[in-house]
């Protein structure tokens, strides 16, 4: 995590922006409840206390849950009811999910509580804020959420830590007993009151948190894909004329226009491209993986834009059941259903697979002596003795094949639960988990295209690449040697991935994208 002293404290007093979620989840930013939020919490709690004092059964306050909602619970048993809810629902299995996912889930649940429609006590919400600020992350398991009635098992694992039970990790990743960790940080465990157990577990926070994180990563990866594609076009002696603004304007998809402009700018000033612009060049058209890159990358960008709209709507939502309304009514609802998020999580996996598939096709062309326009077979120093990047492309192809499997939707696979009370579920958590794997896979595929295109551009010397693509090659050469005899390639692939993930690649090329065709 970054030095949190450099980050502003996030005031929870209304809808949160995507970058605020990322700041807390990924960079350790701290949070606090505003005075207005605390007033809202107090007002809603007064309504819940009034319902708890009534002899009329109220779901979530004085009844059981789910299929057991018909049982009225006497007052002296309601504390046990809430505690039992958390313990029984913290039923996850499998490996622990990433800390950034859990932190995103935590701040999103706190945001809903702060809206004042859940009826938890202010002290309970403040304890959740304290857990976030202490850098204590409850262990949440891979399996347990069906994406309906909220991400129940993941959220229950967080609530369990608030009770001082279960396990957490600290900033260093050390596994700790939750009760000991709370005491060491001066945090008093919560004793739950009516409605609070339900309010802590009934939300789409896990799948929404993963969507927000994936959107951040995909915006960066699509920017990278434009540049690695431009490098491949350049290395394969392709033309940049197909990216001209007037051609792109004939089909006015905004994402396409953006990607074409970025590729046009990336190729500006290339001696390699200029070398085959004259009348002696008899090639009429480039292959689709070169010529149509803006169309595919652009469609992916537009899909991300749609998903961002859905995410922003969910970030402005209050997801709980039942909810406390302004007039004091406590009403059941279906807003916890994850379908809106599940659909876009599934949707995003499709362009991820397709962008990766196109990048793999460009890589393969650079390695094939019959299609690479003068490059040595597999870009090997001594083809036959050396294999060059032959097997790096195998790795790329294996990842692309996996991405195609991950593009199969999870949201069409509803499995009824809770004695048929919850007879249709979204599977949004599963859609989010596979999207995270897909984003990682796309990073690997683009890293291998980056390695391959950089070596191919080196082999076009003495002609020089464009300033932007040349900067990308120069950056890579600080970590990975250029052409030569075969060596262990896995570390080179990992180094290229690191340059993409860290933002170093994007920063290296950004200043060179200014000029004719600059997308900004």
Q: Which two tokens stand for residue 147?
A: 């994406």
**Three-state DSSP class for residue 417:** strand
The one catalytic residue among 59, 343, 389, 450: 59
288 is catalytic: no
d(CA 362, CA 233): 8
DSSP 338: -
Say if residues 45 and 119 touch (Cβ distance below 8 Å): yes
User: What region, left, alpha or beta, does residue 211 occupy, with left being phi > 0 and alpha being psi -120 to 50 degrees?
Assistant: alpha
Residue listed under structure tokens 């339900």 = 198
d(CA 477, CA 470): 11
d(CA 290, CA 281): 17
- Provide DSSP, 130-175: HHHHTT-EE--EEE---SSSSSHHHHHHHHHHHTT-SEEE-TT--E
Q: Sign of torsion, CA 174 178 183 185?
A: positive
Say if residues 180 and 162 touch (Cβ distance below 8 Å): no
Beta pairing, strands 93-96 & 137-138: unpaired
**Three-state DSSP class for residue 176:** strand
Strand pairing partners for 114?
none
d(CA 62, CA 180): 32
**Three-state DSSP class for residue 11:** strand
Strand pairing partners for 137?
169
Please tell me the total number of residues recorded for the chain in this structure: 520
Helix (H) or strand (E) holding 216: helix 205-235
Residue listed under structure tokens 């935590």 = 106
Q: Which two tokens stand for residue 463?
A: 């002609």
**Three-state DSSP class for residue 375:** coil
Q: Which two tokens stand for residue 275?
A: 């070398």
**Three-state DSSP class for residue 464:** coil
**Three-state DSSP class for residue 330:** strand
* Nearest of 152, 227, 117, 188 to residue 450 by alpha carbon: 227
- Provide DSSP, 49-107: HHHHHSSS--TTTTB--GGGTTSB--GGGHHHHHHHHHHHH---EEEEPPHHHHHHHHH
Residues serving a catalytic function are 59
């Amino acid at each position: 995590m970054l030095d949190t002293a450099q980050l502003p404290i996030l005031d929870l007093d209304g809808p949160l922006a995507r970058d605020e979620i990322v700041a807390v989840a990924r960079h350790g930013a701290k949070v606090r409840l505003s005075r207005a939020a605390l007033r809202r919490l107090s007002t809603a709690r007064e309504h819940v206390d009034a319902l708890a004092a009534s002899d009329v059964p109220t779901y979530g306050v004085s009844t059981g849950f789910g299929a057991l909602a018909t049982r009225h619970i006497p007052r002296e048993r309601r504390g046990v009811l809430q505690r039992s809810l958390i313990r029984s629902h913290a039923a996850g299995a499998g490996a622990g999910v990433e800390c950034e996912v859990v932190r995103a889930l935590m701040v999103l649940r706190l945001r809903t509580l702060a809206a004042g429609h859940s009826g938890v006590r202010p002290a309970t919400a403040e304890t959740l804020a304290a857990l976030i600020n202490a850098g204590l992350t409850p262990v949440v398991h891979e399996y347990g959420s069906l994406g309906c009635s909220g991400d129940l098992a993941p959220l229950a694992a967080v609530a369990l830590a608030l009770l001082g039970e279960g396990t957490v990790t600290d900033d260093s990743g050390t596994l700790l007993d939750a009760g000991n960790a709370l005491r060491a940080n001066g945090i008093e465990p919560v004793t739950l009151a009516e409605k609070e157990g339900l309010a802590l577990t009934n939300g789409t926070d896990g799948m929404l948190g993963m969507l927000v994180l994936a959107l951040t990563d995909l915006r960066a990866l699509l920017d990278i894909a434009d540049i690695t594609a431009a490098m491949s076009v350049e290395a394969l002696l392709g033309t940049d004329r197909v990216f001209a603004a007037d051609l792109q304007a004939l089909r006015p998809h905004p994402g396409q226009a953006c990607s074409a402009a970025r590729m046009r700018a990336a190729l500006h000033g290339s001696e390699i491209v200029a070398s085959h612009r004259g009348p002696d060049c008899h090639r009429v058209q480039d292959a689709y993986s070169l010529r149509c890159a803006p169309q595919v990358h652009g469609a992916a960008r537009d899909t991300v834009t749609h998903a961002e709209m859905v995410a922003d709507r969910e970030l402005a939502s209050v997801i709980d059941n039942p909810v406390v309304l302004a007039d004091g009514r406590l009403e059941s609802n279906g807003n916890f259903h994850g379908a809106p998020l599940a659909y876009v999580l599934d949707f995003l996996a499709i362009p991820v697979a397709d962008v990766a598939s196109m990048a793999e096709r460009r890589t393969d062309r650079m390695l094939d002596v019959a299609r690479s326009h003068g490059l040595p077979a597999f870009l090997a120093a001594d083809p036959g003795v050396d294999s060059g990047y032959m097997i790096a492309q195998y790795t790329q192809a294996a990842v692309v094949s996996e991405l195609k499997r991950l593009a199969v939707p999870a949201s069409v696979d509803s499995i009824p639960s809770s004695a048929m009370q919850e007879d249709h579920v979204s599977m949004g958590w599963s859609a989010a988990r596979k999207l995270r794997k897909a984003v990682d896979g796309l990073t690997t595929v683009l890293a291998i295209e980056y390695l391959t295109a950089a070596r191919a551009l080196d082999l076009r010397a003495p002609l020089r690449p464009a300033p932007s693509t040349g900067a990308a090659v120069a950056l890579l050469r600080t970590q990975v040697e250029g052409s030569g005899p075969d060596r262990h390639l896995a570390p080179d692939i990992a180094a290229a991935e690191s340059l993409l993930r860290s933002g170093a690649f994007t920063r290296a090329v950004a200043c060179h994208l200014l000029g004719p065709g600059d997308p900004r």
